[in-house]
Amino acid sequence: MTENLDEKPALVRPADEGLLKQLRKKLQEYEKRKAGKGEVWEYQHPELAHKLHSGYRDACYKFDVLQAVLEAEIPVDTQQLSLTLAEKYGEDFDARRFCTACGVVAHYCGCSNAFAIIKGGAGLPKA
């Protein structure tokens, strides 16, 4: 994330290959969470699951943010990403969960000035 408060908040893909490997595994974990094996949303349409289940929204935003970081060649402008996801999810866009997802991904990417204070969670998988 940017350290200069005059700049827009951004997430930067780490250069460390070991960390990138862990982040790619984490992306797969988020994909599995979205699939919801054993969760109440397992057999629901994604739009309905997003509307009804906070755990599904949590997995979606973390997946979306991490995927954007891993695919980007330049820092990810989180303000622009929030607009893109607000368009994708419509009135069900959850700004609080999006901000939390940005904080989690920033933390995993090694940003010293993360968007949110991270407590608990599964952490990164082993490399």
The full length of the chain comes to 127
| Residue 86 within any structural domain of the chain | yes
Domain limits for position 16: 10-108
Using alpha carbons, list the distances in angstroms from residue 107 to 34, 48, 78, 96.
21, 30, 14, 17
Q: Looking at residues 68-73, what average pLDDT do you find?
A: 96
| Residue 26 within any structural domain of the chain | yes
Report pTM: 0.85
Counting the structural domains of the chain, the total is 1
| Residue 4 within any structural domain of the chain | no
pLDDT digits (tens, 9 = 90+) for 75-91: 999 999 999 999 999 99
